[in-house]
Amino acid sequence: MGRRKIKIEPIIDKHNRFICFSKRRAGLFKKANQLARRGFQIAVLVFTESGNAFVYGSPKVEEVVERFLHNSDATDGAGTSKATESLIKAPEDCKEQTEKVSIESAESAQQKDVSRETKERAEEGEDSWNSFNSALTESKHFWWNSSVENLSLKNLLQFKSALEALLTSVRIKADSLLVEQDFLAGFT
């Protein structure tokens, strides 16, 4: 089958348009984030018909829009374009909302970076766990309930790193479930 080329046309039905926006918004911001990670300055402003603003910007929306306004004014002697005018005429009350969403987007990106780092640390901890795991699996109980009384310093350090890796894995899973739950709650 493969991909088919679809004709891009306006969605007339408001309900269908809202559903399409809800489905595509996360993908749009994900692509913007990928471009930002590669060093591009990017700003995405999306206003729903009800006036809600959804914003992603890197480094900041305001900086990118300001740069856009100055570059377009410097190169275009005929005046500002319709896109520039619509950015200038955006409602003032949306500025506060865009800042809030921009902060949330930045926090989300930071959480993803932290999650990636902790996941890498957890994978490093798994290597040390493999050597220690064989001794503990012979017993019929969970490894974290094992007695630590007879362990050497080296084994205690390995046990500690394994516990930290387990804790990190649990935190990563819990964070991803919370983010997913919050994301899905936004659609209801």
Q: Tens digits of per-residue pLDDT, 33-43?
A: 888 888 888 88
pLDDT at 93: 47
pLDDT at 88: 53
Contact residues for 43 (Cβ-Cβ < 8 A; gap 6+): 55, 56, 57, 58, 61, 64, 65, 68
Average pLDDT of each block of 10 consecutive residues along the chain (188 residues)?
Answer: 80 87 86 86 84 83 82 49 53 54 60 59 52 50 68 82 82 79 67
Beta bridge partners, 124, equal none
Domain segments of the chain as ranges = 12-90, 102-188
pTM: 0.37
Beta bridge partners, 56, equal 44
- Fold (topology level) of 12-90: SRF-like (3.40.1810)
Q: pLDDT for 29-74, tens place per residue?
A: 888 888 888 888 888 888 888 778 888 888 888 888 888 888 754 4
Strands 42-47 and 53-58: antiparallel
User: In terms of Cα–Cα distance, which of 179, 45, 51 is closest to 107?
Assistant: 179
Would you give the DSSP letter of residue 145? G
Beta bridge partners, 53, equal 47
